């Protein structure tokens, strides 16, 4: 697969990861209220809470599908492109989806940072040609 095709799939992975992060955060609300008398029971109660909570489980499964796609794409991708592209774009997608869900971005510097991340990713992709 060529670098442009890899960049597409790695961007797709970043979208799967980033777009699901705020939903996973929302779906896990309430897990901190679970209290059990020992660590094993605590772990099992938290696991049960998350596993039977579709608001957590559905975005988690989609997120893990992104991880499978990432693993498959790594077979043909250049690691110097794969890691920075997916990690930085995941941040962008997380910020955008969080904002769409009503989370506030507190500082204008966040938007400037997001622009720099996008420019940096574009430079990484262009430099591979």
93 close to 19: Cβ distance less than 8 angstroms? yes
Token code pair at residue 75: 């077979």
Answer with the residue of higher pLDDT: 82 or 127: 82
Three-state DSSP at 54 gives: helix
Count helices and strands in the chain by DSSP H and E runs:
5, 0
Structural domain count of the chain: 1
Q: Write out the residue range of the structural domain in which residue 55 sits.
A: 3-127
10 close to 77: Cβ distance less than 8 angstroms? yes
66 close to 17: Cβ distance less than 8 angstroms? yes
Tell me, yes or no, if the pTM score tops 0.85.
no
Tell me: the pLDDT tens digits for 22-34?
A: 999 999 999 999 9
The pLDDT value given to residue 102: 85
User: Distance (Å, rounded) from C-alpha 88 to C-alpha 91?
Assistant: 5
42 close to 36: Cβ distance less than 8 angstroms? yes
Tell me: the pLDDT tens digits for 35-89?
A: 999 999 999 999 999 999 999 999 999 999 999 999 999 998 888 888 888 988 8
């Amino acid at each position: 697969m060529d670098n442009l095709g890899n960049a597409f799939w790695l961007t797709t992975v970043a979208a799967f990861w980033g777009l699901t992060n705020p939903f996973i955060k929302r779906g896990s609300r309430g897990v901190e209220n679970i209290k059990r008398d020992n660590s094993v029971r605590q772990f099992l109660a938290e696991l049960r809470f998350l596993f039977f909570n579709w608001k957590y489980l559905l975005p988690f499964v989609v997120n893990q599908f992104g991880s499978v796609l990432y693993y498959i794409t790594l077979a043909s991708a250049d690691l110097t492109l794969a890691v920075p592209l997916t990690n930085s774009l995941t941040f962008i997608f997380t910020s955008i989806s969080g904002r769409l869900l009503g989370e506030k971005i507190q500082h204008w510097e966040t938007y400037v940072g997001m622009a720099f991340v996008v420019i940096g990713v574009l430079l990484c992709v262009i430099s591979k040609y």
